[in-house]
Structure 1
Amino acid sequence: MLYPPDAFVRRIKDSAKQFIPDAIFLSLLHRKHIGRFPKLFHPTTFNEKILQRSLRPDPRYGALTDKLAVRAYVKAKVGEKYLVPLIASPTVFTRAVFDTLPNSFVMKANHGSSFVEVVRDKSQQTFESLQNLADRWTSTDFYRIARERHYRDIQPRIFFEHLLLDERGQIPADYKVHCFGGRPGRPMMFIVVISDRFGKDTRGDVYDAQWNHLDVGIGPYARSPTPAPPPENLQAILETAAILSEDFNYVRVDLYAPNNDVYFGELTFTPGAGVVPMRPDRVDFEWGRLLT
């Protein structure tokens, strides 16, 4: 097969990257996205400490990052009612599995980030298109993307969940609760709210536990021009995140809160693989001091 010149060069570069040692790869990635080389041996910033976790992950991280295996942990900690109803988790995605799926659902893969396909109307989908997507996901070695080593422990699987919608019939906001423990009482928490995630006006807003809209930007998302009102179940969101994070000095607990309910999304121990721009830059250092 012949590739266009640009595509051929990209394939050569991608192949070459596979031979770069993890620590060097992550240092170069950090330099590219953050603007400085990281201190991997004596990290001080949040991103540097996350990079260190990627290279030397806690043995618990693999199973709890697995989006299927973590369900048992969540059930034991807070109860089954916080889990998004599971429709199917087949060992092989076949046409027979597709035929048994309801009219609306969400297809996901358990072993990485952004493996999500929202299906509102199955009649507008085909088995072949979802099968191709599932094959592409499961053939992706997510560890190779950003060298987060605990992803090597996860066996790729496809699964299907109930489609959560809010009272407007929209995909609910994603509450990413950064929980910094290692201190008495409830952890220090910052809530990153991703709204309109699958729409054309995706926003990322950062709030503290008292719902003060902070002048902070994380990642590629623009802040909303005006802060959203706090959700009615804010305290339930914070309490759920606190319980799910209590075994760790830091973890990001992702939750959904449609219609005054609370549902678990995932646990993330190395958010953004440790290469997420934070605005202003001082926040990277401030959060680094919180991660002990």
Structure 2
Amino acid sequence: MWQPSSAILQLVKDNAKQLLPDALFLSLLHRKHIGRFPRLLRPTTFNEKILQRSLRPDPRYAALTDKLTVRDYVKAKVGEQHLVPLISSPDVFTQSVFDALPNAFVMKANHGSSFVEIVQDKSKVTFDGLRTMANRWMSTDFYLIARERHYRQIRPRIFFEELLLDEHRQIPADYKVHCFGGKSGRPMMYIVVISDRFGNNTRGDVFDVHWNHLDVGIGPYARSTTPPPPPKNLNSILDMAAVLAEDFNYVRVDLYAPGNAVYFGELTFTPGAGVVPMRPDRVDFEWGRLLT
């Protein structure tokens, strides 16, 4: 008797998932990654409250999650000098757009996470290769991945930024500053440092504002055996994060700090879509108490 292949069964399973209501889809996803079903009506943990935000987003989230339209907000708050220089944001990615790009650049999409392609030597890539990648990104409905509803309002765009490098000619670390309670004054902040993000030894380390290396793990990243030293401009990083977070009771502000500069990366209101394991598990509850 004929038996369906594992690929066919997986396809049927994936299609069935897309038919689930958002709340049920997120509850099952939370159970899979966190190990328990979420309390969506009376959320307690950080992940549960993020899930609730995904289902009932603030009307401001879409424009400030869009990696292109958020630039106006950042310019007004902290100044244009803190924006990574924008090379191009074409309506259509054509051969002429590609030809006009410099030798090194970063290609991104504005409507989701992980749509990033770093090009350090243009001679090693082709227009057709980048266009295929861009088309795949543009055809991805990011809302369907984890039902973060504010992503439905973002019109997909491709854009190109200058490539930032640190003093060692490496991709700079990503400082993800979780800001709690910014609306009531200086926020409570925790810094998640993602180092070697595009390399073979990616690490994720969590620090408080005094650069104490916390025994906390978030998501798939392993902690560094020897934690990275504080950046020379730590105070500038924290000051900028505080300003960008001041209109919200919680937001994650992503920044880069090569040399003595500080550049804006993105604002994230529903990090990890509310299904990010936190180690030890009590941190999920501790951060949940901070998110009011």
Whether these two folds match at TM > 0.5 is yes
Equivalent residue runs for 1:136-285 within 5 Å = 136-181=136-181, 184-285=184-285
* AA in 2 matched with 1:61: Y
Shift of 1:8: 2.0
Deviation per residue, 1:156-185 (Å, 9 max, x gap): 000000000000000000000000015643
Cα distance in 1 for residues equivalent to 2:231 and 2:223: 18
SS in structure 2 at match of 1:247: coil
Cα distance in 2 for residues equivalent to 1:200 and 1:248: 35
Do the aligned residues in 1 keep the contact of 2:180 with 2:187 (CA within 8 Å)? Answer: yes
CA RMSD of aligned residues (A): 0.9
Cα distance in 2 for residues equivalent to 1:168 and 1:214: 27
- Larger mean CA deviation between 5-14 and 53-62 belongs to 5-14
| Equivalence for 1:82 | 82
SS in structure 1 at match of 2:145: helix
Shift of 1:13: 1.5
Instruction: Say whether residues 1:287 and 2:278 are aligned partners.
Output: no
Deviation per residue, 1:246-275 (Å, 9 max, x gap): 000000000000011000000000000000
Cα distance in 2 for residues equivalent to 1:162 and 1:183: 33
Equivalent residue runs for 1:11-50 within 5 Å = 11-50=11-50
Which stretches in structure 1 are left out of the alignment for 5+ residues?
none
Do the aligned residues in 1 keep the contact of 2:62 with 2:153 (CA within 8 Å)? Answer: yes
SS in structure 1 at match of 2:285: helix
Cα distance in 1 for residues equivalent to 2:261 and 2:39: 41
Do the aligned residues in 1 keep the contact of 2:183 with 2:246 (CA within 8 Å)? Answer: no
Number of aligned pairs?
289
Cα distance in 2 for residues equivalent to 1:13 and 1:140: 19
- Larger mean CA deviation between 15-24 and 180-189 belongs to 180-189
| Equivalence for 2:117 | 117
* AA in 2 matched with 1:267: L
* AA in 2 matched with 1:147: R
Do the aligned residues in 1 keep the contact of 2:191 with 2:209 (CA within 8 Å)? Answer: yes
Following TM superposition, where does structure 1 have runs of at least 4 consecutive aligned residues deviating by more than 4 angstroms? Answer: none
Do the aligned residues in 1 keep the contact of 2:89 with 2:160 (CA within 8 Å)? Answer: yes
Cα distance in 1 for residues equivalent to 2:257 and 2:277: 27
TM-score (norm 1): 0.98
Shift of 1:9: 2.0
* AA in 2 matched with 1:62: A
Which stretches in structure 2 are left out of the alignment for 5+ residues?
none
Instruction: Say whether residues 1:95 and 2:95 are aligned partners.
Output: yes
Cα distance in 2 for residues equivalent to 1:256 and 1:158: 21
SS in structure 2 at match of 1:251: strand
Cα distance in 2 for residues equivalent to 1:63 and 1:81: 21
SS in structure 1 at match of 2:259: helix
* AA in 2 matched with 1:83: L
SS in structure 1 at match of 2:265: strand
Shift of 1:5: 2.4
Cα distance in 1 for residues equivalent to 2:151 and 2:91: 19
| Equivalence for 2:6 | 6
* AA in 2 matched with 1:181: G
Cα distance in 2 for residues equivalent to 1:108 and 1:123: 19
Cα distance in 1 for residues equivalent to 2:206 and 2:134: 33
SS in structure 2 at match of 1:243: helix
Shift of 1:231: 0.5
Deviation per residue, 1:32-54 (Å, 9 max, x gap): 00000000000000000000000
Shift of 1:16: 1.0
Cα distance in 2 for residues equivalent to 1:7 and 1:90: 37
* AA in 1 matched with 2:58: D
Deviation per residue, 1:180-239 (Å, 9 max, x gap): 015643100000000000000000000001110000000000000012111110000000
Cα distance in 2 for residues equivalent to 1:83 and 1:100: 21
* AA in 1 matched with 2:286: E
Shift of 1:17: 1.1
